[in-house]
Amino acid sequence: MPARRVKPSRYISVDIEADGPVPGPYSMLSLGAAVAGTQDADGFCPADPEQQTFYRELRPISDEFVPEALAVSGLDRARLRTEGAEPGAALAEFSAWVREVSAGAQPVMCGYPASYDWTFLYWYLIRFTGESPFGHSGCLDMKTLYATKAGLPLRAVAKGTMPRHLLSRRRHTHHALDDAVEQAELLANLIAWPGPAQAPGPAGWAPGPG
């Protein structure tokens, strides 16, 4: 029986800015995304992350917020109450964009770390559109990818401990689109990275045939 043909994965780097730790009581205030590349049976083909992007600022959905969380992004909740996109419209536009840029492939959300961004993104998609273009598990965590390749415990991983050549040269600005583009470059570098070079053995030693 011939092997089932699997669609390629279209990796989409996503970053969100929110005013608290969990969606519902707190709000996702901005959403940025950039196409990072495509993975198929022949390997990974990176994309220019500035070519296909999405960005929206959203109206808050509650009066609650954590000042420290809000300060990270520098977004103004008062302005967003009048100028921010209605969440249902913004998430519908995002879903349509994901499907458009993923034609012929399966979209996969990528983040660093993905857990926070995915939690808000998936909750908002289900709450305001009723479905997710990524399904319920189409999510790749770059932090886990690095830990696995580097052979490190997950909690030992931070961007500051990574080899510099893996990191994007772009600044991490806490603007959702800027950071999505930056993380798309990190993903491409991580996928291409073979892992740390094996330490040499003692002088005159070489691996045996087994």
Distance CA 91, CA 126 (A): 9
DSSP letter, residue 167:
S
Q: Is 174 a catalytic residue?
A: yes
Higher local confidence (pLDDT), 203 or 40: 40
Banded pLDDT at 16 (limits 50, 70, 90): very high
Average pLDDT over residues 73-77: 95
Mean pLDDT across the stretch 188-208?
A: 64
Of 136, 165, 172, 174, the active-site residue reads 174
Task: Give Cα separations from 151 to 114, 145, 188 (angstroms).
Answer: 19, 10, 19
Secondary structure E strands in 42-198: 43-46, 53-57, 106-111, 139-141
pLDDT of residue 170: 85
pLDDT at 94: 98
The confidence score (pLDDT) of residue 197 equals: 73
Rg, C-alpha atoms of the chain = 19
Question: What's the pTM?
Answer: 0.90
Q: Model confidence at 11, in pLDDT bands (50, 70, 90)?
A: very high
